Amino acid sequence: MVVTNPVDILTYVTLKISGFPSNRVLGTGTVLDTARLKYMISEKCSVDPNNIHTYIIGEHGDTELPIWSNATIAGMAIETYCTDYAQLFNAKNVLSEIFEKVKNSAYQIIKAKGATNYSIALSMLKITRSILRNENSILPVSTLINDYYGISDVCISIPSIVNLNGVEKYLKLDLSDQEQKMFKHSADTLQKIIKTIGI
């Protein structure tokens, strides 16, 4: 398990150097980002974060993206729930603002105390528990993808089934056209850095 940033790049480098099969090498990816997103939405909507189903995918960094097209609370579209049951005026904008806070939260924490060690430790615990207990948890870890919306040979965060085998398989989400473009941009950003390493 790779934790150090830039986690997607270092996951790719670790995979190539180790010679392990791709399922045995994974990065913490956007597990923490996703947990923060669910928590902030839960605070705004007064609902248990366990009832919020959404993911942040892509690079763990500036080009990551939330998957609003698949996001649900209690089985209904997240915007519908936020508007009808949490009485959020202009739910779409509120959710976008929450995501921006999540994306920039690490910078704020580092500025305040120098590191984000406690929260990432909890993410590592969640991933490790899923492996050791063979839980088949679906977590947005950084893993090697092949022909994912035409993208290959990059380690990037996507929801994956994590168990005793490591990454058992990753899931191909039904992304909107805009999300596909954003995901491709995120992957391209990582691939440009990988090319400079020469692995």
Q: Which residues are catalytic?
A: 60
Among candidate residues 57, 5, 13, the one with its CA nearest the CA of residue 153: 13
Among candidate residues 8, 11, 54, the one with its CA nearest the CA of residue 34: 54
Cross-sheet strand order for the sheet of 137-145: 137-145, 154-163, 166-170
CA angle 128, 149, 159 (to 5 degrees): 20
User: Around Cβ 170, how many Cβ atoms within 10 Å?
Assistant: 23
- Give bridge partners of residue 2 from the DSSP assignment: 27
* Token duo for residue 118: 């406690």
- Asked if 95 contacts 56 with a C-beta cutoff of 8 angstroms, the reply is no
DSSP 113-172: HS--HHHHHHHHHHHHHHHHTT--EEEEEEEEESSBTTB-SEEEEEEEEEETTEEEEE--
User: Around Cβ 60, how many Cβ atoms within 10 Å?
Assistant: 29
